[in-house]
């Protein structure tokens, strides 16, 4: 399967890339900048911010890195985009410990593991180093803000987009690589909220594909054989989505069943252009990287404390608009 190689790399992100909503965390209401950082801000010294993504080797990291660079130029700050290549919570924790020791002026984190990263985030906060999360929240930590997508709302948009193409009646299959993950449950909740407005639409199955590419395809194949009268499909994640398109393509169903999913991987973009997939809901990763730096700079300069959630919004990308967007 042509999607296997890239999707295998992305699966760790699929399970962590969209954690629980921002409101679940408890920001430190008494946070104060460390005296050394305050002094730098007062002297208008150029700050250094670290933006740690849980695996910068992933293709979705490229637009994030670009956003970080754009914000650094706009604001005249130093912003380092980093993270453990290949992923790994232990490596990310060790890297962040090193940055805390060096004494940076702010940290943005996309956590590879909520439980593993929360203590080091809290350590930085306690030391007076501002920490925000981006792309992936860390609800167990005292981070000051989350910069990313409202996941439940993205599920609503998925449902609304499906109805636009499918109509107000039909049978829907839903796929996810991890049905128990908070990000998946949040999106599923929003999707069900949207489809509940239409009494003639039924979700006939929530298929947990697991996180192995070959198992993803097998789960799709089995579900489609069991529900041959399905009239709409939703993928809640980045990796089952292109696999669905490839299944439809191989079985003469491309363009016959509307399919809505998440993110714009290179395979996804090609399948939307070819008509096998209908539309995707992008997380706007470039804006996530950009706004993470903006929020850190707001804290550093003392201009304002951020809201608990900086919503980077949703983008609906379909065949008519897909060429206007770079693959993520």
Kindly report, residue by residue over 261-282, the tens digit of the pLDDT. Answer: 999 989 999 999 999 999 999 9
Same domain, 59 and 138: yes
In this structure, what are the phi and psi dihedrals at residue 200, rounded to the nearest 5 degrees? -95, 10
Report whether 19 contacts 111 (CB < 8 A).
yes
Residue 137 lies in a domain: yes
Alpha-carbon distance 197 to 191, whole Å?
11
pLDDT at 232: 99
Per DSSP bridges, beta strands 279-282 and 315-318 are antiparallel
Same domain, 138 and 213: no
Tokens found for residue 87: 């992923």
Residue 320 lies in a domain: no
pTM given for the model: 0.76
pLDDT at 151: 87
- For the cut 90, the answer to whether the pLDDT of residue 76 exceeds it is yes
Same domain, 23 and 136: yes
Average pLDDT over residues 15-35: 63
pLDDT at 243: 96
Same domain, 155 and 265: yes
Please, what is the end-to-end C-alpha distance for the chain in angstroms?
A: 20
Alpha-carbon distance 35 to 39, whole Å?
6
The upper half-sphere exposure of residue 216, i.e. CA atoms within 13 Å in the direction of its Cβ, equals: 29
Same domain, 126 and 240: no
Q: Which residues on adjacent β-strands are paired with residue 253?
A: none
Categorize the per-residue pLDDT at 228 as very low, low, confident or very high, splitting at 50, 70 and 90: very high
Residue 3 lies in a domain: no
Same domain, 168 and 118: no
Q: Which residues of 95-121 are buried (b: 16+ CB within 10 A; e: fewer)?
A: bbeebbeeebbbbbbbbbbbebbbebb
Alpha-carbon distance 191 to 203, whole Å?
10
Categorize the per-residue pLDDT at 123 as very low, low, confident or very high, splitting at 50, 70 and 90: very high
pLDDT tens digits, residue range 158-198?
Answer: 999 999 999 999 999 999 988 887 778 889 999 999 999 99
Tokens found for residue 237: 């994640």
Q: What is the CATH number of the domain that holds 131?
A: 3.40.50.2300
Tokens found for residue 145: 């803000």
Residue 318 lies in a domain: no
pLDDT > 90 fraction of the chain, expressed in percent and rounded: 72
Alpha-carbon distance 93 to 83, whole Å?
10
- For the cut 70, the answer to whether the pLDDT of residue 18 exceeds it is no
Closest to 267 measured CA to CA, from 213, 327, 178? 327
- The SS3 call for residue 77 is coil
Same domain, 223 and 265: yes
- For the cut 80, the answer to whether the pLDDT of residue 237 exceeds it is yes
Report whether 100 contacts 37 (CB < 8 A).
no
Alpha-carbon distance 322 to 268, whole Å?
10
Q: Chain-centre distance of CA 218, in angstroms?
A: 25
Residue 136 lies in a domain: yes
Q: Which domain holds residue 75?
A: 11-148+285-312
Residue 323 lies in a domain: no
pLDDT tens digits, residue range 36-45?
Answer: 999 999 999 9
Closest to 54 measured CA to CA, from 139, 137, 148? 137
Same domain, 169 and 225: yes
pLDDT at 5: 43
- For the cut 60, the answer to whether the pLDDT of residue 126 exceeds it is yes
Q: Which residues on adjacent β-strands are paired with residue 81?
A: 51
Locate all alpha helices (DSSP H) within the chain, ordered by sequence: 4-16, 35-42, 61-75, 89-102, 114-126, 151-166, 182-195, 213-226, 240-250, 266-273, 285-301
Same domain, 210 and 107: no
In this structure, what are the phi and psi dihedrals at residue 175, rounded to the nearest 5 degrees? -120, 145
Same domain, 247 and 301: no
pLDDT at 13: 43
pLDDT at 24: 53
Average pLDDT over residues 36-61: 91
DSSP string, 263-302: ---HHHHHHHHTTSS-EEEE--HHHHHHHHHHHHHHHHHT
Same domain, 192 and 88: no
- For the cut 90, the answer to whether the pLDDT of residue 202 exceeds it is yes
Residue 41 lies in a domain: yes
- For the cut 90, the answer to whether the pLDDT of residue 211 exceeds it is no
Pairwise pLDDT comparison (211 vs 316), residue with the higher score: 316
Same domain, 127 and 59: yes
Categorize the per-residue pLDDT at 1 as very low, low, confident or very high, splitting at 50, 70 and 90: very low
Residue 162 lies in a domain: yes
How many domains in the chain?
A: 2
């Amino acid at each position: 399967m042509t999607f296997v190689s890239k999707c295998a790399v992305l699966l760790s992100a699929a399970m962590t890339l969209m954690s629980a909503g921002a409101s679940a965390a408890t920001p430190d209401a008494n946070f104060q900048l460390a005296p050394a950082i305050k002094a730098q801000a007062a002297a208008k010294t150029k700050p250094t911010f670290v933006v740690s993504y849980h695996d910068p080797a992933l293709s979705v990291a490229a637009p994030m890195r670009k956003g970080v660079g754009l914000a650094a130029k706009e604001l005249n700050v130093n912003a380092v985009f980093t993270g453990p290549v290949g992923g790994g919570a232990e490596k990310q924790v060790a890297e962040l410990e090193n940055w805390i020791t060096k004494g940076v002026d702010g940290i943005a984190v996309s956590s590879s593991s909520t439980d593993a990263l929360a203590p080091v985030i809290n350590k930085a906060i306690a030391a007076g180093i501002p920490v925000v999360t981006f792309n992936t929240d860390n609800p167990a930590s005292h981070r000051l803000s989350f910069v990313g997508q409202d996941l439940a709302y993205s599920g609503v948009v998925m449902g609304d987009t499906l109805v636009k193409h499918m109509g107000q009646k039909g049978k829907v299959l839903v796929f996810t690589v991890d049905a128990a993950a908070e990000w998946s449950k949040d999106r599923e909740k929003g999707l069900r909220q949207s489809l509940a407005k239409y009494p003639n639409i039924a979700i006939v199955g929530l298929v947990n594909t697991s996180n192995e590419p070959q198992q993803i395809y097998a789960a799709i194949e089995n579900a489609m054989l069991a529900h041959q009268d399905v009239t709409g499909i939703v993928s809640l994640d980045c990796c089952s989505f292109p696999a669905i398109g490839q299944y439809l393509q191989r079985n003469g169903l491309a363009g016959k069943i509307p399919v809505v999913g998440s993110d714009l991987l290179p395979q996804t973009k090609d399948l939307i252009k070819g008509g096998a997939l209908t539309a995707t809901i992008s997380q706007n990763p470039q804006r996530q990287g950009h706004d993470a730096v903006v929020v850190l700079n707001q804290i550093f300069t003392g201009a304002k404390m951020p809201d608990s959630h900086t919503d980077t919004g949703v983008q609906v990308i379909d065949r008519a608009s897909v060429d206007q967007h770079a693959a993520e």
